[in-house]
């Protein structure tokens, strides 16, 4: 009897260790991390006549995923970063003045590809959606705008058991701004019309 119980326990442990990502399951992940803000090039906004940077700042949000198979997952991400604009370069002492506030909200859908079935599951993810950019600049009339965004990421899921785990994730976002060039014919400037930034986040996984 003891041998039977021992074998049953081993089989249970082996099943838990080898089948962490399961077909037909949902994964909910609240996360928190840090976003590297990127820049708005000269000519890409009407609020500033020069290039401005977006300050690096904390970010937070949640992801909800559905495992179509153990290797393929559909995910939705919603996140928010309350950051601010800063001047590019800084003054003679190296500081960068704050020029106004900026809230960045991402709402994105992803195709996530999991590799492996053990407790540690690396993955890559590719997605797209929208970014809502909401500036608040003293003395300037502004309004929020929504722009298309593409994203690429990779990370690692580590399952303590089939229903609970940890997730470590890194993503890059590229948001389309505009296609007009405000630079003069004899004025050199960066003609980029995209906001590119990225983040590193960590969170917990609730799988059911």
Per-residue pLDDT tens for 48-72? 878 899 999 999 999 999 999 999 9
Q: State residue 107 phi and psi, 5-degree precision.
A: -130, 110
Q: Determine the pLDDT at residue 95.
A: 60
Between 66-75, 90-99, 120-129, the lowest mean confidence (pLDDT) is in: 90-99
Tens-digit pLDDT profile for residues 159-182: 999 999 999 999 999 999 987 655
185 Cβ neighbours under 8 A, 6+ residues apart = none
Q: Determine the pLDDT at residue 183.
A: 54
Residue 182 in tokens? 């405000």
For the cut 70, the answer to whether the pLDDT of residue 19 exceeds it is no
Q: State residue 206 phi and psi, 5-degree precision.
A: -115, 110
168 Cβ neighbours under 8 A, 6+ residues apart = 155, 156, 158, 200, 201, 202
Closest to 114 in 3D by CA, of 155, 62, 170 = 155
Cα separation, 75 vs 64, in Å, equals 6
For the cut 50, the answer to whether the pLDDT of residue 6 exceeds it is no
For the cut 90, the answer to whether the pLDDT of residue 141 exceeds it is no
What is the longest distance spanned by two Cα atoms in the chain?
88
Go through the chain and tell me how many residues it has: 208
Q: Determine the pLDDT at residue 17.
A: 47
Global pTM exceeds 0.85: no
- The secondary element (H helix, E strand) that includes residue 2 is helix 2-18
C-alpha 166, offset from chain centre? 16
Closest to 205 in 3D by CA, of 18, 14, 49, 25 = 25
Cα separation, 137 vs 53, in Å, equals 14
Cα separation, 55 vs 36, in Å, equals 7
More confident residue, 57 or 139: 57
């Amino acid at each position: 009897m003891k041998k039977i119980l021992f074998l049953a326990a081993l089989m249970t442990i082996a099943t838990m260790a080898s089948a962490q990502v399961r077909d037909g399951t949902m994964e909910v992940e609240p996360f928190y991390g840090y976003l590297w803000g990127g820049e708005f090039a000269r000519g890409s906004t009407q609020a500033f006549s020069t290039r401005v940077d977006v300050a690096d700042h904390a970010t937070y949000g949640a992801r909800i995923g559905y495992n179509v198979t153990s290797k393929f997952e559909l995910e939705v991400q919603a996140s928010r970063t309350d950051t601010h604009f800063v001047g590019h370069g800084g003054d003679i002492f190296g500081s960068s003045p704050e020029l106004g506030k900026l809230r960045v909200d991402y709402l994105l859908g992803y195709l996530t590809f999991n590799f492996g079935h053990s407790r540690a599951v690396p993955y890559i993810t590719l997605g797209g959606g929208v970014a809502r950019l909401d500036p608040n600049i003293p003395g300037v009339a502004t309004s929020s705008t929504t722009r298309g965004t593409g994203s690429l990421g990779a990370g690692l899921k580590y399952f303590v058991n089939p229903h609970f785990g940890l997730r470590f994730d890194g993503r890059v976002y590229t948001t389309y701004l505009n296609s007009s060039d405000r630079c003069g014919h004899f004025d050199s400037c960066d003609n980029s019309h995209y906001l590119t930034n990225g983040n590193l986040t960590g969170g917990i996984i609730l799988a059911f």
